[in-house]
Amino acid sequence: MTLREAAEKLGLKPVAGLSRLSREFGQGYVSDLLSDVMANAKPGDIWVTLQIHQNIIAVATLKELAGIILISGRQPEKQTLAKAEEEQVPLLLSDLPAFEVVGQLYQMGITGRR
């Protein structure tokens, strides 16, 4: 599935990294502890989180993640948006809580199993 397709199916709003929305992804990781993501996420994962600080963009580039979905209507900080644009890290917003986002992705075939 591409990020664009996921955005359409889940009603996500892409706000940065638009040039990379045709990126394919098949796995995901959900966590709000950056140290946990750094330890356990895999390259190409879509990351679901409530963290809005610019450090999430740094972690996403470090781990080569497909993109970040921010949940529960959370808005990225100004710096986060700026960095996401600069690094072209796809940032997509959802009004849904994490459990719901992950559940829907899972039903569409995105797994988290290694």
Binding residues for other proteins, per CB under 8 A? 34-36, 38-39, 42-43, 53-55, 57-59, 61-63, 83, 86-87
- Is there a contact between 43 and 114 (Cβ–Cβ < 8 Å)? no
CA distance 58 to 87: 9
Task: Calculate ∠ Cα 1-45-106, nearest 5°.
Answer: 55
Least Å from the CB of residue 36 to other proteins: 8
**Secondary structure class of 85 (helix, strand, coil):** helix
Least Å from the CB of residue 87 to other proteins: 8
Q: Which of residues 22 and 40 has its CB atom nearest to other proteins in the complex?
A: 40
Least Å from the CB of residue 83 to other proteins: 7
